[in-house]
Amino acid sequence: METFESLVRAEFAPKNTYLNTASNGLLPARAVAALREAVQLRADGRPLGPLYADVEAARASYARLAGVPTERVAAGASVAAHTGVIAASLPAGAEVLTAEDDFTSVVNPFHVRGDLKVRAVPLERIAESVRPGTALVAVSAAQSADGRIADLPALREAAREYGARTYVDFSQAAGWLPMDAGAYDYTAAVGFKWLLGPHGAAFLVLPEDFGGLTPVLAGWVAGERPWDSCYGPVTELAHSARRFDLTHALFSYAGLRHSLALVEELGVEAVRAHDLALADSFRTGLATLGHEPLPAPGSAIVSVPGLGHRQAELSAAGIEVSDRAGNLRASFHLYNTPADVERLLDVLSG
């Protein structure tokens, strides 16, 4: 029987100390092989049916991870595009509540509307800041900059009390933090971070009644019968959330299908335990060096004030982290080991 460690070793062999999953996850060997096969299929001029099947397999796998029926999952390309569809649905003057300094893709489409009231508050106060007249609360489950985790149950209850809809971006959480996407009106996530896929694939989870959204970006793939919807207006939109699909980046989904399968095999709870053990070990080591990370309990992302300037030095030493607003951001995932933590601490100690 394969163990967590043996599964990971079979899929990953990074050439450096890679602690930057919050920017981009590493591709497992099975996804790399699938990408090569997809490219060769195109080069050979063979039928593309298998690549469209990959999209549906990835959709179904993500639905299981998100805890929702497959029919509620739309396959797109970016969180910004999904946010844009939600922003387009709001009436002029509607209030959107966001977290201060949340990731741009989650908030900017509401700002560019120009006729919405977008209000930003500290993440820790977002639930208590929902008020009468709030139309939508939009927030990342885990903050990109520092890993802080939103109190989503409190947010859900506050929104329910005031009749506000909820939109949660799981891009920095899906793959290591269990999701309950069905508990919110809309949720989204990209596939290229903790879900270990290529760029160009993202998912949007909608309620069964589509939550009042209009598929303003719908093209032929959004038809109930896509191949009969290639010319003129789509006469019958898909009966499922697929009506919100964007034209599929077929190569991306060919790889992502296998990345998601690996996450399912390992189990999100096992991945979470592994990731948090490493993150907490790094936090403990930082204390011995006299550094205090920004508070983000229970997060696989650790952000350290004042050390961002050392990113280039660390990269030259073969350690990949991020510089975010002057903070050093390290993010720990399933392919990382205690040796990676020790190496990072060793270089930081000088």
CATH of the domain at 227: 3.40.640.10
Q: Express each pLDDT in 192-202 by its tens digit.
A: 999 999 999 99
Residue 242 is predicted with a pLDDT of: 98
> Total structural domains in the chain?
2
* Residue 114 forms part of a structural domain: yes
Mean pLDDT (whole number) for 216-225? 97
Same domain for 172 and 68, yes or no, is: yes
Closest by CA position to 264, among listed 118, 63, 81, 87: 63
Q: Express each pLDDT in 24-48 by its tens digit.
A: 999 999 999 999 999 999 999 999 9
Same domain for 128 and 232, yes or no, is: yes
Same domain for 158 and 172, yes or no, is: yes
Say which residues have a Cβ less than 8 Å from residue 233's Cβ, sequence separation at least 6: none
Same domain for 164 and 43, yes or no, is: yes
Same domain for 197 and 66, yes or no, is: yes
Residue 328 is predicted with a pLDDT of: 98
* Domain containing residue 283: 4-27+267-348
What is the pLDDT confidence band of residue 325, given thresholds at 50, 70 and 90?
Answer: confident
* Residue 296 forms part of a structural domain: yes
User: Is pLDDT of 1 > 80?
Assistant: no
Q: Express each pLDDT in 158-183 by its tens digit.
A: 999 999 999 999 999 999 999 999 99
Same domain for 48 and 128, yes or no, is: yes
Same domain for 52 and 20, yes or no, is: no
Residue 350 is predicted with a pLDDT of: 85
Same domain for 327 and 240, yes or no, is: no
* Residue 33 forms part of a structural domain: no
Distance CA 49, CA 21 (A): 31
Same domain for 54 and 114, yes or no, is: yes
The percentage of residues in the chain with a pLDDT greater than 70, rounded to a whole number, is: 100
Q: Express each pLDDT in 32-88 by its tens digit.
A: 999 999 999 999 999 999 999 999 999 999 999 999 999 999 999 999 999 999 999
Q: Report angle CA 259, 260, 264 to the nearest 5 degrees.
A: 120
Residue 97 is predicted with a pLDDT of: 98
Last residue of a domain, one of 265, 292, 322: 265
Same domain for 257 and 281, yes or no, is: no
Last residue of a domain, one of 236, 265, 294: 265
Residue 27 per-residue DSSP state: P
User: Is pLDDT of 334 > 70?
Assistant: yes
Compute the residue count for the chain.
350
CATH of the domain at 290: 3.90.1150.10
| Average model confidence (pLDDT) across the chain | 97
Distance CA 59, CA 70 (A): 7
Same domain for 161 and 108, yes or no, is: yes
The percentage of residues in the chain with a pLDDT greater than 90, rounded to a whole number, is: 99
Residue 333 is predicted with a pLDDT of: 98
Residue 127 per-residue DSSP state: T
Which residue intervals of the chain are DSSP H helices? 4-11, 29-44, 49-66, 79-89, 104-113, 152-162, 250-266, 268-288, 311-316, 338-348
pTM for the predicted model, two decimal places: 0.96
Residue 199 is predicted with a pLDDT of: 97
Same domain for 81 and 166, yes or no, is: yes
Distance CA 191, CA 139 (A): 18
Last residue of a domain, one of 245, 265, 285: 265
